[in-house]
Structure 1
């Protein structure tokens, strides 16, 4: 796939340090060898050294050149605990609580990113999105000027005429259950910026609904309509339009009938879903029925890149998300 070839090449040009806190998980072990062999990143696995080595032997995975850190024996655990305590003491954190929390591999990995011992983190093969977001929001926090963390999927549909030669970004499909109009506008802008800066796309952003340009009147439509107005006001330089139905967003014939004055309608390559139910269902429908490759979910909005995986991910999915995370880190 040309997209991932470009991402891999970018990652190889400026290799970053990526931590995998689920270091004992088999798919991460297999992925770490592929990442090392292809020069995509310098990987750190977090977990018990003996467990990781035993599983690597069983899987015939070569761990040469791959860093392994066990929070229980790490020489940095005390400084991480102290730093976490200082960050959270005004919220009732104690040293005793911090000792326990930071030994959790996800928190330890997030502290590595926060304190500059890693450039990014990828998790989610065995943890939920919420498990990743909690330490991310507590420790990394959002980037300046960003009000909400969100996610996107890269959807690549073989042989499709839609999007950019079959590639589209879907957002938000993993993080925000029911975003407000203001949050939806922020998600749209963030995804447009991602499309432009990470993938070199010319983003055309469709704000999806069950209504197209006023064809229906409902409070759910009102939210998308308001979000569209806010996004346009905040970023008049971006091509964002709505509200519109999915067919009006991507099918030019339908767009001419339903939204003839929209430059986005019929040409959309970034689809913003009104809530998490729609986004999650939508990406999985396309993935299964169209046999699309769904890469992600990739997070956006954090001050430093930490990214989620689907628990059904493959080792190859982990390799690709690590490469994307490395390129995100290059842009910070």
Structure 2
């Protein structure tokens, strides 16, 4: 069983309730039909019921009636949601009138459904920007306890089975925080290890805090940040197997790790890579993807109290299908 099959099987074993707020979008509705046919998750589709029926008939979809449909413009819980949203945002000056308008927005409505425990996770982005996806999540669901920054992890499925966990490596942050502080970098390390467990099925995450230096081989303030982040990550999760600062080859190649960082429990055996900034993460995963013919899955957003994931606007039906499975796996561990 490959990783994607493992993720799908785990999602099916404990079905979660996932909101698709862009349900009238063609790829999203086609993916929803496949999810429902495969009993991958229980879906909440946000959209006009008559429009969804018409679109399902147009695209020859036969399983959409298995989903729960919430009409954002005719929602019996609209006032309840508006009152709660106004209360959540009153310190920011939100009025009840503003809240009533916002709960008609499918992205906000989906997060309100999650906030009131009517769903376990949400996926959007086929039509929306990352900012539009994250804004309601951070305003309503908020960050997980002890976390102050959201980040994005990428699952890298490589052909080099001697590295990582049988060729599987999880990398963060590749999507959200451009220049994390040492405190944020420590949180990203802990969150990325959790993603490795909950999504990639890696039961023994081994986290390398990457830099251009290994154990003091170079001196620079950006190296100092990684060293401090390593210390803070140990404080946040003392049980986590984690070491740094390590260069990428020292993190992945046993012979190099033994030479550059003798005695390190991680060097040469890392399966989770934490990069020092978003620039490094984005460039690195795309180089591995294109030059190494690796399969890159994600980014998977992490650090939110309940999973809310972002799609590329160029996503495929298959991308959405697998992101439903990934979000379901995250939701199991967020409870």
TM-score by length of 2: 0.93
Report the Cα distance in structure 1 between the residues aligned to 2:217 and 2:312, rounded to whole angstroms: 36
Q: Which residue of 1 is the match for residue 281 of structure 2?
A: 279
Q: Which residue of 1 is the match for residue 152 of structure 2?
A: 151
Deviations 1:200-235 (A, max 9, x none): 421110111122221211111111111112212333
Report the Cα distance in structure 2 between the residues aligned to 1:181 and 1:220, rounded to whole angstroms: 10
User: SS in structure 2 opposite 1:232?
Assistant: helix
User: SS in structure 2 opposite 1:146?
Assistant: coil
Q: Which residue of 1 is the match for residue 25 of structure 2?
A: 25
Q: Which residue of 2 is the match for residue 37 of structure 1?
A: 37
Q: Which residue of 2 is the match for residue 255 of structure 1?
A: 257
How much has 1:50 moved relative to structure 2? 4.3
Deviations 1:93-127 (A, max 9, x none): 01221122221111111111111221111112222
Q: Alpha carbons of 1:196 and 1:82: their partners in 2 closer, same or farther (altered >3 Å)?
A: same
Q: Alpha carbons of 1:87 and 1:274: their partners in 2 closer, same or farther (altered >3 Å)?
A: same
The reply to whether residue 181 of structure 1 matches residue 182 of structure 2 is: yes
Deviations 1:167-199 (A, max 9, x none): 111111112111100110111112223323442
How much has 1:149 moved relative to structure 2? 2.4
Report the Cα distance in structure 1 between the residues aligned to 2:322 and 2:78, rounded to whole angstroms: 30
Q: Which residue of 2 is the match for residue 244 of structure 1?
A: 246
TM-score by length of 1: 0.94
What 5-or-longer segments of structure 2 have no aligned partner? none
Q: Which residue of 2 is the match for residue 223 of structure 1?
A: 225
Written as runs of structure 1 = structure 2, the 5 A alignment for 1:52-131 is 52-62=52-62, 63-131=64-132
Pairwise CA RMSD: 1.8
User: SS in structure 2 opposite 1:177?
Assistant: coil
Report the Cα distance in structure 1 between the residues aligned to 2:287 and 2:147, rounded to whole angstroms: 30
How much has 1:65 moved relative to structure 2? 0.9
The reply to whether residue 203 of structure 1 matches residue 170 of structure 2 is: no
How much has 1:49 moved relative to structure 2? 3.6
Report the Cα distance in structure 2 between the residues aligned to 1:24 and 1:75, rounded to whole angstroms: 20
Report the Cα distance in structure 2 between the residues aligned to 1:290 and 1:207, rounded to whole angstroms: 22
Work out which of the residue numbers 295, 298, 304 in structure 1 matches 2:306. 304
User: SS in structure 2 opposite 1:64?
Assistant: helix
How much has 1:278 moved relative to structure 2? 1.2
